[in-house]
Structure 1
Amino acid sequence: MKLILKNIGLLKQAEITLYPLCVIAGENDNGKSTVGKIVFCIIKAINRYKEDLQESKEYQVNEILQEIYFKFRRALPTDDGQIPDVLRQLRAITTGPANLPEQLATVREALEQLEQSGTETRSTRQDIMDALEQIQLITDQPEDTRQSIENAFNKVFASEFDASLLLQGAKTGTIRLYDGDFLLIHLEVNAASGATLKGDVDPINIKDVTFIDSPLILNHHDLLIRSQSMLDVDRKPGRSLGRSYTTLHTKDLFDKLKEPALPNDLFATRNKALLGNIQKLIAGEISYDKSSRDFVFTKNAKSISIKNTASGIKVFGLLQILLANEVISKNTMLILDEPENHLHPKWQLHLARILVELIKEGIYVLVSSHSPYMIEALKRYADRADLKDTSRFYLAENRTIEDRNRLGEIFDVLTEPFETFRQMDAEDLRDE
């Protein structure tokens, strides 16, 4: 697939073919992270719009059921101040799991009791019948797939980028995704109206995506357990008072790490060999401890809080949990934003080797980096695994990315500091 961006995030222009291994290098503030965030948003929006549509309908139905409950509460007589059982049942259907047939049956039962009580009025009955008819109209409403997908894109972009999806100063931008010459997605982005779909959307073969930009997410359990993204706020309006906000990719990653809780058995999956390699590397395992509701590092049968471990341990611990939970699997994508920031150069090589092993299992990997160690290691391990034709190394410069392999130029940029040192040494020698 090829991604084409114009005036998006920090990028003026970008064309990137999404190979199983994509590496984007370059100096800071040139749009490396923008690519990962856009890819993340595209995959999330395409794979969850049906879920969003269903949740929207359930929310609308629940709002009407609450109004019905209030009408019954005012109309049904109490017995010496005791709440009738049917009223308790009505209250339960507005707070419990959505099961429309059971909810409607409860409403009809309550209506019969209201008729038997003799307190029913014509207007009350008509109001309830009108509400039931409105629920039926909502559930029978045909799906507008294109509009639902467009809404999903706008929700996801707002949750990830807030108000900064467009390049600063730009009024319009475009996002296009191709499979060969076939246009899968075409979005026009406007500063005033948001993202608008141009044409239909075709499915993509990547079923989920996980974005990692910092292993320190494990340290912030207390904050993230109570946090929500703007997408959560949109789904559950009125339930966000006093709660903190975070980006969609952070909330998505945190939820994948803590659910399901791991029972100290990281080897109950098909990823046994790779998990064993990670455990050997860090001499232990990281898991989510359900009893303490926190992440712990277990080594030699002793567990300590994740907050007391090195950042490098956390990096591999993240992968350990995601693999054990089978979040990372065939036809999913893993995006890592400058993972070298928390790793010793030797451990950067270990990470590169593990990432190449993931690619061999059918997992797409997108890495943004400015570490020559990480980039060189990815190149060498990919070549050894016969992945040379399915790897691409891009250079982000002047807020532009060209669709061509630029590995040599990447090293020219990243080794500039060493040229500075060489010049300093030359100056020192002249001064002596």
Structure 2
Amino acid sequence: MKLNIKVSDFGKIKKADLQIRPFTVIAGTNSSGKSFITKALYSFFSTINKDFVTAEAIRNVSGINARIQVVFNSTKLSMQETTLISNLLEDGASLHEMVLQRYGENTFTSQLEGSVFLIKSTQNLREKLQLVVNIMSAKKKYEKIRADVDQILFSLKGLEQIFEKPMVMMVSKIQKEFTESLKENFQMTSLSSLRNFDCPPERNPTFEIDTIGMISIEGDTVNFKLKSNGIDLLQDFSNIVYLESPIYWRLKSTLERAREFSKINYLMRFKKQDSLLGVPRHFYDLVELLQERLKSNLRSDSFKEVIDKINISIDGEMLITQSGDINFRDNQSGKELNLHTTATGIINLGIISLLIERNVISKGSYIFIDEPEVNLHPAWQKIMVEALYELSRSGINIVIATHSIDMMKCIEGIVNSLPHDEAFEHFGINQLSSEGTSINAGDYPPKRIASIKSDLGKSFFDMQMNGSW
């Protein structure tokens, strides 16, 4: 995917122009804003990737149908009333199927077009329910179900509103979900904390994404100007994944228990869960994806060469048990080892292999990786880069944030082996300064990489010149 993004006044970033390509690199020294950008983009992409329209419509239709069945099954009906209710339930089931057909796997633009037909079907369902009400309202037994019938009619009106204004509902859901995602991924209770400290009062943090639209943060509120075809673009991705510290995987079971305990604790107290757990949402998002693949037992035969390359390098493979635990099976001993006794570098590489094998990372996925070089020997950094490049060539979008010279050298080797046009189209090389601004070293990827290497190597050069070594 090819996108150009302008980021202003967000976190460490003052002003940055980013080129997003099938293989995107965001590089810079410590505290240059790399992680701010990747976490923000993940939060936004993963939010838009959700089909809120279909989910909300199905939830409402299912609830209405279930309530109709329960209410009228608990009431003694005449032959005429029974026939009318049977027809009503058939129409409700048809509406459910129509929602799946008109919405379902369709693009958001197609959903907007299909809403007209759904409005008519919902109005027809409401009219038939009203006919039942008119026949039963004069009877004493109706008093027992009046409140339930009124609730069904109210829910039908709400369903009509979804179909009449799907964009309004979509934006409302996105606004709420994106706000929560930002807070949980950055572990901040207020979005105002994400404002650049040099940002003037009259300006707000903004993201301008050329084919998708604009996002701005005003105080604790997120505002959008989205294009329907931009929503189509992001909803077309299969999975959006963010990979960060391997330490989270070592603590996976403990972190999951802590999350469940926190939910139960708040439910028991009848309070809204508004505290932060200290663990970013993106980790829990990925664990849930992995659990879904575990339940379906869906495995991938694709990318076998990539999986084999990683597993040979770590001399083993990552496994996930039926209970959801992740172990490392060492080839030399044949034993399965708990991640607590497994080297962090092995976890870093092995998790990628496991996610590919379990089809979490597949064609159409979008993968963000913060500092993929963590705990990796330079030789393994090369394997990591080569594996990610192969994935990017096969329809998986890769975005990495790095400050590793060794990793940049590995990327440089691949870029230099490609024709100019192919390197330009496939690689988005972005450099950030310590002041949170873009460094423009020209459009040609090798020049950008050379500038990044020079910047990252400056501290080593200074130490040598000062005799610090």
TM-score when normalising by structure 1: 0.76
Does structure 1 residue 388 correspond to structure 2 residue 423?
yes
CA deviation string 1:104-141 (max 9, x = no partner): 2122111339xxxxxx7765432222122122222333
Give 1:204's aligned residue: 233
Whether the 8 Å CA contact 1:57–1:138 is kept in 2: the answer is: no
Change (3 A) 1:128 1:393: closer
Distance 1:375 1:317 in 2: 21
Structure 1 residues 223 and 148: alpha-carbon distance in aligned structure 2, compared to 1, 3 A threshold: farther
Structure 1 stretch displaced more, 327-336 or 303-312: 327-336
**Are 1:282 and 2:314 matched, yes or no?**
yes
Aligned-pair CA distance for 1:216: 1.7
Mapped to 2, the partners of 1:345 and 1:155 lie a distance apart of 39
Distance of 2:224 and 2:375 partners within structure 1: 39
SS in 2 for 1:259: helix
In the alignment, the residues of structure 2 paired with residue 105 and residue 310 of structure 1 have an alpha-carbon distance, to the nearest angstrom, of 56
Q: Is the 8 A contact 1:284 1:299 kept in 2?
A: yes
Matches of 1:191 and 1:256 in 2, distance apart? 32
Instruction: Please report the RMSD computed on the Cα atoms of aligned residues, expressed in angstroms.
Output: 3.3
| Residue 339 (structure 2) pairs with residue 311 (structure 1) | no
Greater Cα shift, 309-318 or 25-34: 25-34
State whether residues 9 and 195 of structure 2, in contact with CA within 8 Å, keep that contact through their aligned partners in structure 1.
Answer: yes
Match for 1:126 among 146, 154, 172?
A: 146
Equivalent residue of 2:76, what SS? helix
**Does the 8 Å CA contact 2:8/2:15 hold for their aligned counterparts?**
yes
Q: 1:259 to 1:408 in 2, by over 3 A?
A: same
Structure 2: how far apart are the matches of 1:213 and 1:55? 31
Q: CA deviation at 1:99?
A: 5.9
Counterpart of 2:455 (choices 407, 413, 420) is 413
Which string of whole-angstrom CA distances, capped at 9 and with x for unpartnered residues, describes residues 175-221 of structure 1? Answer: 11114xxxx212232114x1222354422255132111112221112
Write the deviation string for residues 379-399 of structure 1: whole angstroms up to 9, x where unpaired.
212433555222132211111
**Closer, same or farther in 2 for the Cα pair 1:262/1:217, shift >3 Å?**
farther
Q: 1:392 to 1:133 in 2, by over 3 A?
A: closer
Distance 1:308 1:396 in 2: 36
Tell me, yes or no, if structure 1 residue 195 matches structure 2 residue 222.
yes
The structure in which a higher percent of residues are helix is 2
CA distance in 2, matches of 1:126, 1:175: 50
Distance 2:340 2:249 in 1: 8
1:33, 1:324 → 2: CA distance? 27
Confirm whether residue 104 of structure 1 aligns to residue 68 of structure 2.
Answer: yes
| Per-residue deviation, 1:265 | 9.9
Q: Alignment length, in residue pairs? A: 373
Say which SS state the counterpart of residue 342 (structure 1) adopts: coil
Distance 2:25 2:156 in 1: 51
For 2:250 and 2:386, how far apart are their aligned partners in 1? 26
Gaps of 5+ in 1: 62-97, 114-119
Q: Which residue of 1 aligns with 2:171?
A: 150
Distance 1:47 1:169, change over 3 A: same
Q: Distance in 1 between matches of 2:253 and 2:274?
A: 17
Paired with 1:201 and 1:4, the residues of 2 have a C-alpha distance of 20
Shift of 1:326: 1.7
- Which deviations, in whole Å up to 9, do the C-alpha atoms of 1:56-108 show, x marking residues without a partner? 883x78xxxxxxxxxxxxxxxxxxxxxxxxxxxxxxxxxxxx56424421221
Counterpart residue identity of residue 12, structure 1 = K
Distance 1:262 1:340, change over 3 A: farther
For 1:311 and 1:5, locate their aligned partners in 2 and report how far apart those are by CA, in whole Å. Answer: 33
Cα distance change on mapping 1:250 and 1:320 into 2, 3 Å: same
- Please, which moves more after superposition, 324-333 or 398-407? 398-407
Task: Give the Cα–Cα distance (whole angstroms) in 2 for the partners of residues 5 and 195 of structure 1.
Answer: 15
Instruction: Give the equivalent residue in structure 2 for 1:335.
Output: 368
- Aligned-residue offset at 1:422: 2.4
**TM-score (structure 2 length as normaliser):** 0.71
Distance 1:414 1:402 in 2: 13
Please give the residue correspondences for 1:230-269 in structure 2 after superposition, counting only pairs within 5 Å. 240=273, 244=277, 246-261=279-294, 268-269=300-301
Percent identical? 21
Q: Distance in 1 between matches of 2:63 and 2:219?
A: 40
Moved more, 137-146 or 408-417: 137-146
Q: Deviations over 1:269-293 (max 9, x none)?
A: 22222111122111111122124x3
CA distance in structure 2 between the partners assigned to 1:312 and 1:262 by the alignment: 28
What SS is found at the alignment partner of 1:111? coil
Q: Quick one: distance in 2 between partners of 1:219 and 1:360?
A: 31
Are the structure 2 counterparts of residues 327 and 384 from structure 1 closer, same or farther at C-alpha, using a change threshold of 3 Å? Answer: farther
Q: Quick one: distance in 2 between partners of 1:418 and 1:245?
A: 34
- Which digits, 9 at most, give the CA deviation of each residue in 1:250-273, with x for residues without a partner? 21122223332289996x522222
Match of 2:55 in 1: 54
Look up the match of 1:69: none
Q: How far apart, in 1, do the equivalents of 2:351 and 2:252 lie?
A: 13
Once the two structures are overlaid, the 10-residue window that deviates more, 164-173 or 13-22, is 164-173
Amino acid at match of 1:392: G
The code of the aligned residue for 1:107 comes to V
Superposed CA offset, 1:345-379 (max 9, x none): 22111111111111111211111111100111012
Q: Cα gap change, 1:146/1:402 in structure 2, threshold over 3 Å: closer, same or farther?
A: farther
* Alpha-carbon distance in 2 for matches of 1:391, 1:367: 11
More divergent stretch after superposition (312-321 vs 144-153): 144-153
